[in-house]
Amino acid sequence: MPVRTFVLPQGLVRAVWPAKLTDETADYELDWSARLAEGDAIEASTFELPRGLVSPKAGNTDKVATVWISGGEAGEGYDIRNRIKTRAGAALEQTIRLKVKSK
């Protein structure tokens, strides 16, 4: 499966990832490049997943936060929050919607 990347532009309120299948573990990325101050980078990233979704793994690079997601009920939509802390001390967060579908 390809990585599903969402680039976060300045001022975006609502973000949506492409849907995942109920029986797959899929990796999703949030590219924070446009929201980071020049020369700044992600130091730490955490994802908050609602009940029903599981994250076996998460990580980040200087500009991109990644989470692997499994679970979920077909037909349901889930709001996932990503919080990052940057090397310059900024704290940023974004909620992104993920829909789950059956085959």
Domain 4-101: assigned CATH number? 2.60.40.10
Domain locations along the chain: 4-101
For tokens 């974004």, the residue is 94
Q: Which two tokens stand for residue 2?
A: 């390809």
Bridge-partner residues for 45, per DSSP? Answer: 84
Residue 84 CA to residue 11 CA, distance in Å, equals: 16
Cα–Cα–Cα angle for 6, 86, 27, nearest 5°? 30
Q: What is the pLDDT of residue 58?
A: 96
pTM of the predicted structure, to 2 decimals:
0.89
Per-residue pLDDT of the chain (103 residues; tens, 9 = 90+): 567 777 777 777 678 899 999 999 999 999 999 999 999 999 999 999 999 999 999 999 999 999 999 999 999 999 999 999 999 999 999 999 999 999 8
**What is the DSSP code string of 43-76?**
EEEEEE--TTEEEEEEEE-SSEEEEEEEE--TT-
> How many beta carbons lie within 10 A of that of residue 26, not counting itself?
19
Residue 98 CA to residue 74 CA, distance in Å, equals: 11
